[in-house]
Chain A
Amino acid sequence: MPANKFTSSLRRMRAVATKEVRQLSRDRVTFGMIVGVPLMQIMLFGFAINFDVRNIATVVQDQANTSMSREFIAQLRATQVVRVAYTTESAAEVDRLMREGRASMAVVIPRDFERRLQSDTRAVVQVLVDGSQPTLASVATGIASMPVLARHGAGPYSGGNRLTPRRIEVRTLYNPEKRTAVQIVPALIGVILSMTMVLFTSGAIVRERERGNLELLIATPLGRLELMIGKLLPYIVIGLIQTTLILIVGSALFNVPVVGNLGNLYAAALLFIAASLGLGLFVSTLAKTQFQAFQLAFLTLLPSILLSGFMFPFEGMPEAAQWIAQVLPLTHFNVIVRGIMLRGADLPEVWPQVAKLAVFIVIMLTVAVARFKKRLD
């Protein structure tokens, strides 16, 4: 009899999962999103959102106008970070171009450029960066760490090194070669999974409530857990498909390798999918309409993207933000996935993060299951 009970329970779960897949396959927009979201995101983050900033429109004011200063400008150009859009002799013109946003950076070479190069105490060149554009700030650091500019005391090259402009090796310092893609693609797995898993599951459950299907479902012998598992099963598969898609595109288009073990990687992905589904389930118990579910899902997504170390280095955040980040599963998954994919780590080597993810899953599912009532009230 218990075996019989078990098989009929399996049968009900299978029925719910089949129905879910069938509905999904007919909802063209959602179905398209399964493939479309990862593709669009990887293209966006891989190509468009590029942290190695290039071709910054720059105005150069060369007051020295010597062969040495011209050589310095040529080397700036060679970095490809800088695109010399304007050259001018007037400081007012520099000001105006910056204010109008036509130039994002200004390089001012003083009249006594050569004399300053001999001195250890005075800055040789002044670089003005448009601070209203966030990514440019990091470029300023990059430019400042160019040996010729480092003399005023900042950066690793400060001190007594007697550097000449001929020894500037900007390219190696800035490293424009694909570093961003290598960092971004592994973390993108987590971002895309959080997006689709939380949105899809919470939406799928709330939709049934909104349309009145749930009222009928809970009047049938279908159990609470059977309903939840049946609804979540298809999304686990979808999550694995998306992971695979990102890995393939990341490797084919951006040359992002998987240094570590693929099995480990998929195990980590499964863990993270479980965490996201738990979160989605929890969201579905809070929301009454799909619109609310969408907003709530977005509410969890934004801090995940901003605080998880996906876009900004974790170390630079204020302590409060770091605490919030600790609660977000994406933070831990990013550490795991970068470890496995880029540094060839095994799951046991990133066990603290694995443990934190596991705790998150247990708590989320417990709360969601407890809140998911098989009644209308």
Chain B
Amino acid sequence: MNAPARTAASAAVAISARRLTRKFGDKIAVDHIDLDIPAGRIYGFLGPNGSGKSTTLRMLCGLLLPSDGHAEVLGLSVATDAEAIRRRLGYMPQKFSLWDDLTTDENLRFIAELYGLEGNVEARIASARATYNLDELRGQRAGTMSGGQKQRLALAAATLHEPELLLLDEPTSAVDPQSRRDFWERLFGLADAGATILVSTHYMDEAERCHGLAILAEGRVVAEGSPRSLMAGVDADVLEIEDADGSEAPRVLQPLPWVHGVTQLGTRLRVLADRNVQDPARKLRELLAAHGIDARITKTSASLEDVFVVATRRDPRAG
């Protein structure tokens, strides 16, 4: 995390994977994915449960061996150099994995010993406590903490050895909104200091804050890019139908083959229409009029959720 390393790394790739695959028996959890994650950035994995986010993260930190393909983390192969990688990365599993019956300080000291931290360890622990707002919890056992407190402790432990790369598996799933905001502030602080952060999430707002993003579905990367470019390049027209509240509109629209998604937002309906359809607004209006619904339809820009819906929909042409 020192300055020269950062400038050298900023253009570099922290993680690259080619055809990375993991099977559990017959089930393919991760299916030939390619990744190029730049150093010094926050990169997100967005996907539903079971899309292969956790399995990919576990392969990247050497907890699971790939069934096929390979990945390089910080220039080292996950298959052969897992031990060397482990010294340079911090990993925060989805489930709180520190020791419930140890206090904040005891947990942090134990982690410090495992990484063989040199110099004034107590000072480093004190500074981690200050950064993650743990001073009042220093003597409290982790098992008695709230979700947000546990998460701060877990992040403090994962960053104690100042890793170049942080892998965070759904770090905010058990945390209130304010704690989530604070947590992301800290992630940006770490990224500014030069760390690469790979974070998995199923929250759209969190995904939108990442520098880069891969949307995973059924073990594959179905879309990749910055949130802005993903939203701009969404493969659908986004239309909003006003005052369709309580009408039959959703039931009329959902079965249409060229409608990729219908979402109700209060009194509005958000419709994702296939790009190949000419003037979808007019088509929708005519269709709804035939069902006696007088709808006001406007075209709007895509949100990340729209991107997600389009990217993760089952392709009707493929089985």
Contact = CB atoms under 8 A, between A and B. Distances in A.
Interface of A: 8, 11-12, 14-15, 18-19, 22-23, 26-27, 211-213, 215-222, 375-377
Contacts of B61: 219
A27 B100 CA distance: 11
B144 to A, nearest CB: 12
B83 A221 contact: yes
B87 A221 contact: yes
B86 A221 contact: yes
B98 A213 contact: yes
Contacts of A217: 114
Nearest to A12: B114
A12 B113 contact: yes
Given A12-B114, A22-B106, A376-B58, A213 B87 contact: no
Contact of A377 (B65, B100, B102, B114): B65
A219 B113 contact: no
Contact of B115 (A14, A211, A220): A220
Given A215-B93, A215-B95, 10 more contacts: A12-B116, A22-B102, A22-B106, A213-B98, A216-B91, A219-B91, A219-B93, A220-B111, A220-B114, A375-B64
B102 A19 contact: yes
Q: Which 9 A-B pairs have the closest CB atoms?
A: A15-B113, A216-B97, A219-B91, A212-B95, A8-B116, A212-B97, A220-B114, A215-B93, A376-B63
A221 B116 contact: yes
B203 interface: no
B184 interface: no
A212 B96 contact: yes
22 contacts: A8-B116, A12-B116, A15-B110, A19-B110, A22-B102, A23-B102, A211-B97, A212-B93, A213-B97, A215-B63, A215-B93, A215-B95, A216-B93, A216-B97, A218-B63, A219-B93, A220-B114, A221-B83, A221-B115, A375-B62, A375-B63, A376-B63
Interface of A, secondary structure class, is helix
A377 B116 contact: no
B122 interface: no
A22 B113 CA distance: 15
Nearest to B86: A221
Interface string B96-124: 11111110001000110111100000000
Contacts of B62: 219, 375
A204 to B, nearest CB: 12
Nearest to B67: A377
A233 to B, nearest CB: 15
B215 to A, nearest CB: 25
B97 A215 contact: yes
B63 A23 contact: no
B91 to A, nearest CB: 4
Contacts of B98: 213, 216
Contacts of B116: 8, 11-12, 221
A211 B98 CA distance: 9
A61 to B, nearest CB: 65
Given A12-B114, A15-B113, A377 B97 contact: no
Nearest to A15: B113
A19 B99 contact: yes
A377 B100 CA distance: 25
Interface string B26-64: 000000000000000000000000000000001001111
A11 to B, nearest CB: 6
Interface in B112-161: 113-116
Nearest to B107: A19
A216 B157 CA distance: 10
Contacts of B101: 22-23, 26-27
Contacts of B58: 376
Contacts of B86: 219-221
Contacts of A18: 110
A44 B65 CA distance: 50
Contacts of B95: 212, 215
B128 to A, nearest CB: 16
Contacts of A220: 86, 111, 114-115
Interface string B165-177: 0000000000000
A26 B65 CA distance: 36
B63 A222 contact: no
Contacts of A11: 113, 116
A245 B59 CA distance: 48
B97 A15 contact: no
A14 B89 CA distance: 23
Contacts of A215: 63, 93, 95, 97
B114 A375 contact: no
A27 B143 CA distance: 13
A229 B206 CA distance: 42
A219 B102 CA distance: 19
Nearest to A27: B101
Contacts of B97: 211-213, 215-216
